[in-house]
Amino acid sequence: MVSTRSSSLMTPRPNSKTSSSPPPPPTTLTKTRTRTTTTTTTVPGWSHTPSLLTLAWLAISVPLVAWDTGYVLLRPLSMPGGSLHWPVWAPYALYGSVDHMYGFKQWNLGNGFTAAQSVLNVVESLAYLVYAGLWVAYVRGGGKAGLTGRTGALAVLVLFAGVVMTLSKTLLYWLNESFSGFDNIGHNEPLQLFFLWIVPNGLWLVFPAIITYTIGSEIVDGLVKASAPVSSRTIKSE
């Protein structure tokens, strides 16, 4: 009896507050890093370089238009018999007999169409000179890649305005003759009319039309590039 009782006393009682199950193993947290790569496609830049045709047209038209404008605005002194006629405007003695808009017929009638057109010639020539000045300043500054930025945009805009003025004024001159029944040039022989009126006036239609189309296309291309959305692609990698 004694031994049994002692054995029971030595046996420890289980603690009700102590869990019989083993504790869970510690949790290991693993961080996953995500790398984001963005690839962007940029739109190529815009620049302007005048064509040889444009430069040749400016070199020819500006002095000729100045000569013509001087004759018209200085009439009657620049006309035959006037104090300024010889030698600068001597060729207009012939041209005034071919095109009466430049001769005494319309001058005596007080027709101001040619003078009004010549005033616009001054504005047109100023546009050409501004464009030429911007280009010359660029070349003297060592530029080689073409006019860019605000300066390039201004140069192209001024040139476009100038050639559109030239084209529209010349077309108006032709239409004026057509709607007036060729009152000022209809007296000429066909050969004389062709070489002394159609050819010289036709050049002021053909070349401005070509340059207008070229510069207009360049402006459109520049606007398309400027308004094109920048394409981007995002790649996520773990």
Give the tokens for residue 143. 């530029």
* Residues 88-97 pLDDT 10s: 999 999 999 9
Q: Is residue 138 part of a domain?
A: yes
What is the pLDDT at residue 109? 97
pTM: 0.78
Q: Is residue 207 part of a domain?
A: yes
Q: Is residue 147 part of a domain?
A: yes
What is the pLDDT at residue 4? 45
Q: Is residue 22 part of a domain?
A: no
Q: Is residue 198 part of a domain?
A: yes
Residue 165, pLDDT > 70, answer yes
What is the pLDDT at residue 227? 86
What is the pLDDT at residue 51? 95
Residue 153, pLDDT > 70, answer yes
Considering only residues 228 and 187, tell me which one the structure prediction assigns the higher pLDDT: 187
Q: Is residue 36 part of a domain?
A: no
DSSP for the chain, written as a single string = -HHHHHHHHHSPPPPTTS-SSPPPPPPPP-----EEEEEEEPPPP--B---HHHHHHHHHHHHHHHHHHHHHHTTTTTSTTSTTTTTTTTTHHHHHHH-TTSSHHHHHHT--HHHHHHHHHHHHHHHHHHHHHHHHHHHHTT--S-B-HHHHHHHHHHHHHHHHHHHHHHHHHHHHHHHTTSTTTTTS-HHHHIIIIIHHHHHHHHHHHHHHHHHHHHHHHHHHHHHSPPEEEEEEE-
pLDDT interval class at 45 (50, 70, 90):
confident
**How many CB atoms neighbour CB 57 within 10 A?**
21
Q: Is residue 232 part of a domain?
A: no
Residue 160, pLDDT > 80, answer yes
Q: Is residue 31 part of a domain?
A: no
Domain of 158 in residue numbering reads as: 52-223
What is the pLDDT at residue 145? 82
Closest by Cα among 74, 63, 169 to 120: 169
What is the pLDDT at residue 5? 44
* Residues 51-81 pLDDT 10s: 999 999 999 999 999 999 999 999 999 999 9
Question: Domain total for the chain?
Answer: 1
Residue 144, pLDDT > 90, answer no
Residue 225, pLDDT > 90, answer no
